[in-house]
Structure 1
Amino acid sequence: MKKIMFNDRYGLTQAVIEGRKTMTRRIIIPQPDFLSDNFGWAKRNNGDVILPKYGVDEIVAVAQRYSTIAAGHPDVDTFLFQVAKAHKISLESVQDLAGWNNKMFAKAELMPHQIRITRIKCERLQDISDEECLREGIRQFTPNFPKNFPIHPTHFVIGDILKDTPREAFAALIDKVSDRGTWDGNPWVEAHEFDLLK
């Protein structure tokens, strides 16, 4: 089983686990030179088709640090034993594993949450709709002002980002989790829709 990583600083892993994030975009590297109209998948000038990292109906583990899983696990001793067994180490050495503090090194088969990829499309980053921004984990937020307050503004938030529209919030998010200027660069992306299995 493969695993997929989401940004923890902006709460994206938690949004997936809570079922609030059901879509993700991944920048295609290197960027395609040409986009085929036949199937909507990018092709390179040499004719090679760019294949997505995950397939439709594929089950993928949501990557988490072992320490995060242990902190919320209902049977932490059993979980730690499973980690030790999977890595063929002593129980006492589990906290010394790279995966204890870095989910990049955690084993997919030990992850408690999985998603199923339901749809994949190739598009430009800025082709995202407001509805898709919300599926990316952006939340609508309306402050609780007194009833006699003249306006009741609605904002869109993720992590410490607060913007007036879902697209503005997503644009700010993508520039934080990727590189500054990613939104303006409007790269080709794989857009994955998914369901949380557990």
Structure 2
Amino acid sequence: MKERPILFSAPMVQAILAGNKTQTRRVMKPQPEITPDTYGRPGHWLPSKKHQTMLHVELEMQQWDGLAGHACPHGQPGDQLWVRETWQHSYFPYEPADPSADIFYRADFLDDPLGADLEHSKDGIRRTWKPSIHLPRWASRIQLEIVRVRVERLQDCSVTDAIDEGIEFSLLDEPEDAIWRYRELWESINGPGSWEANPFVWVIEFKRIEREPS
């Protein structure tokens, strides 16, 4: 079992904590290329450093059980991910911070009546929020276990997948609303036109590991 960090935005952290988000899609880098005519098998392939060869996406990576997870840089089933999220600590701006500091997470303040853009902590002291990339391992509060990895085109995301990505959805909504909301979420993170580009993505399904109370 290996452990790796993974970044999530504050709204997605809220969705994970609420139990509404159990999937994430990450763009494959580099993107698979069309196989050459001389290869004999149409489709796309991807260079894999781990396997020291080219892996055929539509055949090997999508049909061979376990191969996608073994090739995925984010991990394979059984591996764990510790979440990096926007945060703050009670020692800021004084460094160094350490595990004895009080930690504040941006996701806990998105529904604050004073406004989601107010940068403050629960002790009333205004501070600048620190980017998720700078969250150290000791300050992470969410641990995930990968349960499945697959490869697909972004627009192959189904209504069920979109809901599992953590978008807001109710029984009064039309099914296609889920796809549109996930598209808006995707483009808010990856930029305009990123949905239409329809890249190949790693689809990582996970479950949250409940920690024992200290």
2:1 is aligned with 1:26: no
Structure 1 unaligned residues grouped into runs of 5+: 42-48, 71-79, 85-97, 143-152, 157-163
Contact map agreement 2:162 2:179 (CA 8 A) in 1: yes
CA distance in 1 between counterparts of 2:83 and 2:72 reads 21
CA distance in 2 between counterparts of 1:52 and 1:81 reads 29
Query: Where does 1:93-172 land on structure 2 (aligned, <5 Å)?
Result: 101-141=130-170, 154=173, 165-172=177-184
Identity of aligned residues (%): 25
Task: Assess, with a 3 A threshold, how the Cα gap between structure 1 residues 175 and 165 changes in structure 2: closer, same or farther.
Answer: same
DSSP-derived class of the 1:13 partner = helix
CA RMSD of aligned residues (A): 2.7
DSSP-derived class of the 1:185 partner = coil
Task: Assess, with a 3 A threshold, how the Cα gap between structure 1 residues 126 and 101 changes in structure 2: closer, same or farther.
Answer: same
What is the number of residues matched between the two proteins? 149
TM-score (normalizing by structure 2): 0.61
Query: Where does 1:59-70 land on structure 2 (aligned, <5 Å)?
Result: 59-67=80-88
Write out the 4+ residue segments of structure 1 that deviate beyond 4 Å after TM superposition.
Answer: none
User: Which of residues 50, 62, 72 is equivalent to 1:51?
Assistant: 72
CA distance in 1 between counterparts of 2:29 and 2:151 reads 13
Q: CA-to-partner distance for each residue in 1:13-70, whole Å, 9 max, x for gaps?
A: 11112211000000112211124202328xxxxxxx9533222111111112442x77
Contact map agreement 1:55 1:117 (CA 8 A) in 2: yes
**CA offset at residue 113 of structure 1?**
1.1
DSSP-derived class of the 2:75 partner = coil
2:62 is aligned with 1:40: yes
Match of 2:187 in 1: 175
CA distance in 1 between counterparts of 2:84 and 2:9 reads 10
Q: Could you tell me which amino acid in structure 1 is paired with residue 194 of structure 2? A: T
Task: Assess, with a 3 A threshold, how the Cα gap between structure 1 residues 28 and 39 changes in structure 2: closer, same or farther.
Answer: closer
**CA offset at residue 102 of structure 1?**
1.8
